[in-house]
Structure 1
Amino acid sequence: MKTFLVYLLISYPLSMAMAQFEPNYDERQVPEFKIPDPLTTFDGKKITATSEWENTRRPELYQFFEEQVYGKVPGKLDSLSFNMVETSDDALNGKAQRKQVEVSLFKNGKSLDFNILLYLPKSRKPAPIFLGYNFYGNHSITDDPNVIVSKAWAMDSEEFGISGHTLTEASRGVRVHRWALEKIIDGGFGLATIYYGEVDPDKNDFSDGLHSLFYMESQEIPKKDEWGSIAAWAFGMSRALDYLETDPDIDASHVVSFGHSRLGKAALWAGASDTRFAGVISNDSGCGGAALSKRQVGETVGRINTSFPHWFCDNFTEYNENEEALPVDQHELLALIAPRPLYVASAEDDQWADPRGEFLSAHYATSVYDLYGTKGISDTKMPEVNSPVQNTLAYHIRTGKHDVTEYDWEQYIDWAKRFVAVKP
């Protein structure tokens, strides 16, 4: 119970935490359920070849997640543009290049802008990239005084000096520990990050952010099968990738979609939706991310849809405290990323995100990786803490809480060197 409360105080408003029912962390109380077979179609046909997976099974699985879980993107942009706002060849004590790029999206006579902060190693061009959102503004991930402070809506945080939903200098560098910038650069990778609130503010209000660009006349909220915020954030990652493909300093064929917690859910959906991503990393993504829903451990479908009704499409509420009715589970979301490299990571004290459920999800997705002749997680026994299993489909559980640590990044960089961005 201690871990549950710590996690909530870090990540959720206290009023939401108090509204939750007592979560289950007892393996003896996990309900019996059948694991849906990724390699058996909804009408019972067994998939035995990659062509059958790609042409039959993968499309029907993707359609279910798109229409019943994350929601469909209602159309295409009219256009988009990129503007280099700032650049320096003397970042991180001279070892990196910094770029700040404004991405502008246009639809139905309306527009939305978000900013990509890039750090690229001067020692390797073009550079492979980790692309991921941050929670409190691009300036929060570094002490670099040149990084622009976002003007977008932000969650208030007494700890980080954020009030009136406005980001200021007070929050510069408050999340340095989550972004091992120098390790990433020294490893030969670049980092691209975006403040997620610029793409879609994390609040149950669809009047602003990305959704509003796509509304038909008199529409005020997405339709039941249309995108929630997670799908909007995933869409934003793909638009950032559109920019990365234009930058000669970046190896856009080796971009890894990275995310932590709710943004880990977005990174997974981005990787499933956009096969241009060369790899995907899910860090403590939990319910609606890597963890199996049917286990009902920690956060459940009903709890997440109640606390964060804007994250998923409205159709997903049909499965509130009704996970047994789901014809899929999250291992099949992971399988949609195959055969591309995928890393699922958990934290020992983060029981709310169900580490065992995240591990088992990676295990049950392995059959699709096997179909391609690549290696996943074959063992049903979880590895020891701080003992990573690094294959094309990788997994680790580390000591500590719901967070991103230097240990996590050390594993991701090593894995990405071996499986994503192999040097010629």
Structure 2
Amino acid sequence: MKKTLLYLLLLFPIALLAQEINYDETKVPSYTLPNPLIMEDGTKVTSKQEWIEKRRPEILDLFETHVYGKAPASPKDIQFEVLSENRYAINNMATRKEVAVYLSEDKTHKMTILIYLPNKRTGAVPLFFGLNFKGNHTICDDAEITESITRMKPRDGGDEIRPHAFKRGAASSRWPVEMLIAKGYGLATVYRGDIDPDYDDGFQNGIHPLFYNEGQTKPRPDEWGTLAAWAWGLSRAMDYFETDEDIDAGKVAVFGHSRHGKTALWTAAVDTRFAMAVSNDSGCGGAALSRRRYGETVGKINSLFPHWFCENFKQYSNNEDALPVDQHQLVALIAPRPVYIASAIDDRWADPKGEFLSGVHATAVYELLEVAGLPVEEMPAVDQPEMRGNIGYHVRSGDHDINSYDWEQFIKFADIHLKDKY
């Protein structure tokens, strides 16, 4: 927790010092959550058909309008290109591919998917897929990975492009490539900066301008922020996975840590092609209930990261009770597909209890769809994962990070829900 706060204080000292942070459970206010099984007009949802045809689209629209923003449809003629392929990577254990996904017709804007697939396979394999923070070349100490063009907030008016900003393999502790390959899973990742760099520049440096109407200079109040843009990019990668005969596109788990965990949940909500979602330490705007106002709040997240959500979301800063949705409904949008929520006990900023409670309150929707949700209502003990339902959960020892313990649980959960399908 100290490490998390130090990082935030270094980046945003004025904003954080100006707002009190609540880490006292006795100061969590009373709140009433919107019921995922009651329509906005008060009608109760009592059947699968009503959920699928009426309530789910209603909740999805509320999230698009008030939280993440509406994203454009996929380009009609999206283009892919295999840039490199090595069938003898990771000590001959894996095939490594780099695939360009061109996000504009003139091929001026592309993202690059880095893919590792186990060589020991008899057919298409299931896949874990998510964004990385620092570039494709940082997830593995593999000299042949093309270095991502690092895009970061300019310093003193300088260029956003930072050549060699991060060393090869710098983030390898978060990416257990060999473990996944040995377990029979593929791994794919995209550098988030290929889609939209993670800083507020008025939505000029990412993919947003590719979709502006004539005369438009920024997204409308109910249009996509950066998280929704990242989710849109992950869906375009799924467009590619559906064309690759080595990948079982029906068995792709979208995962993410921290802000990427928020993105993974939203991606799975809007794109039902993803078979499973994994959220690690995703906090406010991810798995944590906003109405608890614990740790990071809507007001804080909108102040620190004004580009993440749509403009409409700002009206709920320090006004969470007015939100027409809360994050348990985001988890419910993924039903009946499996979702795993992971927390860290010292990561109070992300509100572990609030993350757990989203699973609890989403369970009614899973049960309506005749599958088990989260089968417990009391938070499990530290390092005691709960995987008996289609909503899995653990809170581990330690702080804000993603490590081998987390990955071991994600793989076990995927074995339960995907293993019999490959």
What is the alpha-carbon distance in structure 2 between the residues aligned to residue 118 and residue 8 of structure 1? 34
Task: Report the equivalent of 1:127.
Answer: 125
Partner secondary structure for residue 100 of structure 1: strand
CA deviation after TM superposition for structure 1 residue 151, in Å: 1.7
Question: Is residue 15–residue 303 contact of structure 2 (8 Å, CA) maintained in 1?
Answer: no
* Whole-Å separation in 2 of the counterparts to 1:89 and 1:230: 34
Corresponding position of 2:285: 288
Question: Do residues 228 (structure 1) and 225 (structure 2) align?
Answer: yes
**Conserved? CA contact 1:149–1:167, under 8 Å:** no
Partner SS for 2:334: coil
Residue 44 of structure 1 corresponds to which residue in structure 2? 42
The question of 1:172 aligning with 2:168 is answered: yes
> Are 1:191 and 2:187 counterparts?
yes
Counterpart residue identity of residue 162, structure 2: T
TM-superposed deviation, 1:105? 1.2
> How big is each residue's C-alpha offset from its partner over 1:164-202, in whole Å with a ceiling of 9 and x where there is no partner?
651417521111000111111111100000000110011
CA–CA separation in structure 1 for the residues paired with 2:419 and 2:272: 16
Partner Cα separation in structure 1 for residue 286 and residue 260 of structure 2: 9
CA RMSD of aligned residues (A): 1.7
Aligned-residue offset at 1:13: 6.7
Say which SS state the counterpart of residue 360 (structure 1) adopts.
helix
Select 1:348's aligned residue among 338, 345, 348. 345
Q: In the alignment, which residue of structure 1 is the partner of 2:109?
A: 112
Question: 1:378 and 1:294, CA in 2 relative to 1: closer, same or farther beyond 3 A?
Answer: same
**Cα deviation 1:3-48 (Å, max 9, x = unaligned):** 2x421444x4724144212210111000001121111111111111
Question: In the aligned structure 2, how far is the partner of 1:167 from the partner of 1:54?
Answer: 47
- Please identify, of 296-305 and 170-179, the stretch whose mean Cα deviation from structure 2 is larger: 170-179
Return the alpha-carbon distance in structure 2 between the equivalents of residues 361 and 422 of structure 1: 28
How many Å separate the matches in 1 of 2:304 and 2:271? 28
Per the alignment, residue 137 of structure 1 pairs with 135
The corresponding residue for 2:363 is 366
Is the 1:139–1:173 Cα contact (8 Å) retained in structure 2?
Answer: yes
Q: Which amino acid aligns with 1:79?
A: D
Which residue identity lines up with residue 197 of structure 2 in the other structure? Answer: P
1:230-249 deviation digits (Å, cap 9, x = unpaired): 00000000000000111111
Unaligned runs of 5+ in 1: 158-162
TM-score by length of 1: 0.94
CA distance in 1, matches of 2:81, 2:149: 17
Say which of 321, 329, 338 aligns to 2:335: 338
What letter corresponds to residue 47 of structure 1 in structure 2? V
Structure 2 residue 263 is matched with structure 1 residue 273 = no
How many Å separate the matches in 2 of 1:285 and 1:204? 20
Unmatched 5+ stretches in structure 2: none
Q: CA deviation at 1:111?
A: 4.1
Superposition pairs for residues 8-407 of structure 1, below 5 Å? Answer: 8-10=5-7, 12=8, 14-20=10-16, 21-106=19-104, 111-124=108-121, 125-154=123-152, 165-168=161-164, 170-205=166-201, 206-390=203-387, 391-407=389-405
Tell me what 2:417 maps to. Answer: 419
Distance 2:271 2:24 in 1: 37
Residue 160 of structure 1 is matched in structure 2 by: none
Q: Which amino acid aligns with 1:415?
A: F
CA shift in 2, pair 1:75/1:92, >3 Å: closer
CA distance in 2, matches of 1:311, 1:337: 21
Evaluate the alpha carbon distance shift between residue 421 and residue 17 of structure 1 in structure 2; reply closer, same or farther with a 3 A threshold.
farther
SS of the counterpart of 1:263? Answer: helix
| 1:219 Cα offset (Å) | 1.6
Distance 1:405 1:237, change over 3 A: same
- Secondary structure at 2:103's aligned position in 1? strand
Task: Name the stretch that deviates more: 73-82 or 140-149.
Answer: 73-82
The aligned amino acid for 1:394 is G
TM-aligned CA deviation for residue 422 of structure 1: 2.1
| SS of equivalent residue, structure 1 residue 106 | coil
Q: Equivalents in 2 of 1:298, 1:292: separation in Å?
A: 11
Instruction: Output one character per residue of 1:275-303: Cα deviation in whole Å (capped at 9) or x when no partner.
Output: 00001000110000000000000000011
State which drifts further: 412-421 or 233-242.
412-421
TM-score normalised to the size of structure 2?
Answer: 0.95
Q: Distance in 1 between matches of 2:200 and 2:160?
A: 17
Tell me how far apart the structure 2 counterparts of residues 167 and 220 of structure 1 sit (CA, whole Å).
29
Letter aligned with residue 65 of structure 1: F
Distance 1:171 1:94 in 2: 24
Kept in 1, the 8 Å contact 2:374–2:390? The answer is: no
Distance 1:13 1:217, change over 3 A: farther
Q: Which amino acid aligns with 1:219?
A: Q
CA contact (8 A) 1:140 1:173 kept: yes
Q: Note closer, same or farther for the CA distance 1:313–1:417 as it changes in structure 2 (3 Å cut).
A: same
For 1:299 and 1:17, the matched residues in 2 are separated by 14
Per the alignment, in what secondary structure is the counterpart of residue 104 of structure 2? Answer: strand
Q: Deviations over 1:86-132 (max 9, x none)?
A: 1101111111110011110126x674201000000011231100010
